């Protein structure tokens, strides 16, 4: 997706992108060729914050006393805007918010990108939940807009620190990472474009699961929601075009 915009502009060709951040499509004056159909990823974490608000209301606790710690990569429109949206919403709701932004391509250790530096990632996890906080105070709500290896290292460190987060929302929780970490996933929240309970059907498939099953039979592996959305987007465009024009 990072190459969609420059390639579309270079060749003056329309590109249908699969990017969830609204800001990705805002530069229309300079690049009118990129379009997309996607759930607004800036809203992905908001139901988790709403659930936390309901919990605090039920227990009579103030949002001011509830830490919300948000860590995110700054080299991606998706990661950055998704977590910035969470920061803005949590701040507006009165939570005690800490924002932790990091450059995965930076080098705190010379010659080693931060994304490959376990000690650096463990340090980020310590900012989310430190062992020094003690068992009764390390209950921050954690929101993380990170890649899979980031999550693996951070979660291992959080476990080592004895963290008991009030909630844990990770971008990775709706990816293939979730299947590989099924022992952890029941305790994680996430957001995405599709779920098996979502209604979808066309003249070829009865639902999204059928799309995935066809893909497994045809290509030998089970895809993710990206597979379904990559299929559904052009199908929707075709339906839109054929509803207005005669296609031969």
Share of the chain above pLDDT 90, in %: 52
pLDDT digits (tens, 9 = 90+) for 176-206: 888 888 887 777 899 887 777 777 788 899 9
Say which residue the tokens 């990108």 belong to: 113
Paired sense of beta strands 141-145 and 67-73, if any? parallel
Give yes or no for a contact between 20 and 43, defined as CB atoms under 8 angstroms apart.
Answer: no
Residue 210: pLDDT band (50, 70, 90) is: very high
Q: Which two tokens stand for residue 66?
A: 């509830």
Segment 91-107 shows an average pLDDT of: 97
**Model pTM?**
0.84
pLDDT digits (tens, 9 = 90+) for 118-171: 999 999 999 999 877 665 556 899 999 999 999 999 999 999 998 889 999 999
Is 70 exceeded by the pLDDT of residue 1? Answer: no
Contacts of 123 (CB under 8 A, 6+ apart): none
- From the list 130, 132, 123, the residue with the least C-alpha distance to 150 is 123
- Count of other CB atoms within 10 angstroms of residue 132: 9
Number of helices (H), then strands (E), in the chain: 8, 6
Is 70 exceeded by the pLDDT of residue 235? Answer: yes
Query: Would you state the pLDDT for residue 137?
Result: 59
Q: Which two tokens stand for residue 125?
A: 């996890």
Residue 247: pLDDT band (50, 70, 90) is: low
Is 90 exceeded by the pLDDT of residue 100? Answer: yes
Query: Would you state the pLDDT for residue 138?
Result: 65
State how far the Cα of 185 lies from the Cα of 148, in Å rounded to an integer: 13
- From the list 204, 170, 163, the residue with the least C-alpha distance to 83 is 170
Give yes or no for a contact between 108 and 120, defined as CB atoms under 8 angstroms apart.
Answer: yes
Q: What are the residues facing 100 on neighbouring strands?
A: 71
Is 70 exceeded by the pLDDT of residue 90? Answer: yes
Query: Would you state the pLDDT for residue 248?
Result: 63
Query: From the centroid of its chain, how far is CA 155?
Result: 16
As a whole number, the mean pLDDT across the chain is 88
The dihedral built from the CA positions of residue 23, 28, 31 and 32, taken in this order, carries a sign that is positive
- The residue count of the chain comes to 248
State how far the Cα of 187 lies from the Cα of 208, in Å rounded to an integer: 25
State how far the Cα of 95 lies from the Cα of 92, in Å rounded to an integer: 8
């Amino acid at each position: 997706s990072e190459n969609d915009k420059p390639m579309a502009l270079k060749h003056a060709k329309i590109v249908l992108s699969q990017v969830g951040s609204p800001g990705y499509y805002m530069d229309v004056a300079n690049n009118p060729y990129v379009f997309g159909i996607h759930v607004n990823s800036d809203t992905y974490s908001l139901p988790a914050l709403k659930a936390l608000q309901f919990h605090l209301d039920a227990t009579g606790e103030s949002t001011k006393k509830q830490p919300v710690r948000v860590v995110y990569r700054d080299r991606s429109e998706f990661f950055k805007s998704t977590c910035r949206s969470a920061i803005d919403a949590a701040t507006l709701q009165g939570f005690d918010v800490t924002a932790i932004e990091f450059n995965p391509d930076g080098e705190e250790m010379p010659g080693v990108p931060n994304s490959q530096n376990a000690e650096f990632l463990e340090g980020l996890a310590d900012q989310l939940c430190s062992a020094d906080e003690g068992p009764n105070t390390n209950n921050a709500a954690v929101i993380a807009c990170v890649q899979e290896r980031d999550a693996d290292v951070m979660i291992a460190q959080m476990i080592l620190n004895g963290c008991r987060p009030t909630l844990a929302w990770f971008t990775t929780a709706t990816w293939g990472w979730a299947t590989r970490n099924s022992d952890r996933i029941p305790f994680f929240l996430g957001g995405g474009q599709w779920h098996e309970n979502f209604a979808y059907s066309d003249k070829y498939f009865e639902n999204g699961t059928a799309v995935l099953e066809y893909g497994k039979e045809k290509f030998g592996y089970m895809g993710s929601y990206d597979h379904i959305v990559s299929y559904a987007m052009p199908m929707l465009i075709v339906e839109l075009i054929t509803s207005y024009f005669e296609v031969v």
